Structure 1
Amino acid sequence: MEWQGINLSGYNQNQWVKYSIRNFIIILATFIFLSIITIFIIFQYQDIQYKNKQLNNEITEIENKISQTQNNIEKLKKNTITNNQLIKSEYIYFLNQYLNSFKEKGALEIIQIYIDSHTKIKIIGKAKNQEKFMSIEQQLKQDNINYHITQLHTSEDNLLSFQIIIDLQG
């Protein structure tokens, strides 16, 4: 029904309600979709923050280790500079004579001459049994050598591992 060009049937009202409901559903779907995306972004952000925190902790640990290593290097440099002492030739001669007269050949693994508070020789080796080690110790006693046994134990292969420090000035 139409009166002077105006439709009085309620068609426009129905169309307005129909478009309003459709637009409301579109807005609601968009809001839900954006909410899901926002929640996903928040979880991703928190995950990235957690990983970033872990990486920062690892970086800090690595920087601390580097700093400690640099400090150790500096200490070693200072020690080598301050301990710029020479080993007397008589100690080298003694070491050579001792090794030449050493009875248990093959028992020694490492021989190191160094200056701590004074000149010392560190001998590291393995003896096949206790008698061989006793022979090494007996030789030290016979030569009136001041020594200290700093390590002595039996290994898995039944060898007697030892470490002896000879004090050349004590």
Structure 2
Amino acid sequence: MRFSTACVAALSASVASAGSWFGGSEEVVVKDVQKVPGDSPLEFCDSDHSKDIVHIENVDLSPNPPESGAELVIQATGTVFEPITEGAYVNLVVKYGLIRLISTKADLCEQIQNVDLKCPIEKGDLSITKSVEIPKEVPPGTYTVFAEVISADERPITCLQATVKFGGSKATLSDDL
């Protein structure tokens, strides 16, 4: 799976990127205060979001929870309060249980091409729809994703996290990590 597809899938499934990826159907347990509005497992990171450059209004996943071997459709809406330019980046960490699979700093402007956007991202309302295939080979288990997005001048754009648990034909969401 390409890095960008993995990130989108992980953030979409976990924070789309909070529960389970390839599993049976279990309960979704998410803190209401931190949950991203919409039908997804995404949560905002535990930090002050009052100065974020992007306000995420809604994220919907279909299916939710995601299923291994199936197409995942991510729909997101939000507001960009000021242009996002070259030099913005994402600190991304993906874990399988306690094992760190990915820990990287990625160029945001390169990654957003995967959702048909390009830098600069102008101020205003933003709507994204993206489909990704979740590989059927994803090993069963609990995956956690953390994505902190930072502007070129080191200001917070947004921060999202999720936990996704795959165990069978469907993903389940949990709050046990």
The TM-score, its normalising length taken from structure 1, stands at: 0.28
Larger radius of gyration: 1
More strand by share: 2
By relative contact order (CA 8 Å, sep 6+), the higher-ranking structure is 2
Q: Give the structure-2-normalised TM-score.
A: 0.27
Q: Which structure carries more helix by proportion?
A: 1
